[in-house]
Amino acid sequence: MGNIVVVGSINMDFVCYIRRFPQPGETVQSYRTETKSGGKGANQAVAAALSGGKVSLVGAVGNDSYSRDIVFGLRNYRVDTDRIMQKKSDIGTAFIAVEESGQNNIVISEGANGCLTVEDLKDLPELFGPSSVLLVQNEIPWACTRAALQLAKDHGVRTYFNPAPALGIEEDVFPLVDVMILNESEAESITSIRLSEELSDVKQAASRIIALGVREVIITLGEKGSFYMNDQEESIFTPAFSVHAVDTTAAGDTFIGSLIAARQQGTPIREALRQASAASALAVSRAGAQESIPTAEEVAEFLSRSDSRVGEPI
């Protein structure tokens, strides 16, 4: 099984649990506040590692106590942290408000993540071996994300891109991406197609992304499930598992890490999508980001108690 190389963000999350989101100008009381390790890069790396993947995380932290604690925690999750650089900055931070429904609002401050440079990635190919893959997101400087994709493509490495948060993407970047995994709002931002409840809109958006040069697209649909399409016009809808939502903070990151780890272990795409859906369901039923991510054993046990449905071709 090849190495899963994640180039991405590392944050400290400050999480406030509230009864409801405030109106503009309104103050609401938090009934619980916690600090937790987060960042899309780190979350996805942890999810892949807990799903059985061999994971190396490339990113930046600061010179504060939060940074030391986060790196130590990542090692406990069996994530290789040797390529995490220390910058003269504070750790990246995310301020998260979680409503009783489990939905969240997030404000991020890039901190050390914004100090990562293209020069820092010059040795990235040393992590690429047979069957390695690269995973990137949009919480580090765009020049670094683009450089990582180009280096991977130059070395024949399969690339996964989660374009979150949604940013403008130059058209010549899409052919560097083998698999794009994104949610509905990000799909709308990239394609300018307004997604309704109709699956036909989702299919149209996926087709447009494929036409830009991406080989496979997965659009996550929240509590509805996910939609997969490849450049051979194969389409799969995978329904979500029904669970009581406590906190959706790391749901998407868990889905992504689980899916990539499953694919690295040779799992067929339909079953990999089902496993990722189960991992995401378990994550939203728990509080926190990395703390909510399930292990491969927990996912297997959950699936053994659930129905046998798999991704459905449409």
* CB contact at 8 A, 273 and 228: yes
Segment (H or E) for 212: none
**Is 183 annotated as ligand-binding?**
yes
Segment (H or E) for 208: helix 199-211
In 3D space, the residue among 143, 214, 211, 134 whose CA is nearest the CA of residue 182 turns out to be: 214
Segment (H or E) for 233: none
**Is 252 annotated as ligand-binding?**
yes
What is the separation of C-alpha 189 from the centre of its chain, rounded to a whole number of angstroms?
17
**Is 13 annotated as ligand-binding?**
yes
**Is 82 annotated as ligand-binding?**
no
**Is 42 annotated as ligand-binding?**
yes
**Is 8 annotated as ligand-binding?**
no
Gap between the terminal Cα atoms of the chain: 31
- 150-152-154-159 Cα dihedral, nearest 10 degrees: -90
Spell out the residues 6+ positions from residue 206 whose beta carbon is closer than 8 angstroms to its own.
187, 217, 219, 227, 229, 235
**Is 11 annotated as ligand-binding?**
yes
**Is 145 annotated as ligand-binding?**
no
**Is 291 annotated as ligand-binding?**
no
Segment (H or E) for 185: helix 184-191
**Is 221 annotated as ligand-binding?**
yes
97-120: burial string, b at 16+ Cβ within 10 Å, e else: bbbeebebeeebebbbbbbbbeeb
**Is 40 annotated as ligand-binding?**
yes
**Is 139 annotated as ligand-binding?**
yes
Residue 150: burial class (beta carbons within 10 Å; 0-12, 13-18, 19+): middle
Point out the catalytic residue in the list 80, 120, 178, 253: 253
**Is 168 annotated as ligand-binding?**
no
**Is 249 annotated as ligand-binding?**
yes
**Is 213 annotated as ligand-binding?**
no
Q: Can 253 be counted among the known catalytic residues?
A: yes
Could you tell me how many residues make up the chain? 314
Tell me the binding residues for ATP.
Answer: 183, 220-225, 252-253
The annotation places the binding site at 11-13, 39-43, 139, 183, 220-225, 247, 249, 252-253, 283, 286, 288, 292
Residues with catalytic annotation? 253
* Annotated binding-site ranges for substrate: 11-13, 39-43, 139, 253
List binding-site positions for K(+): 247, 249, 283, 286, 288, 292
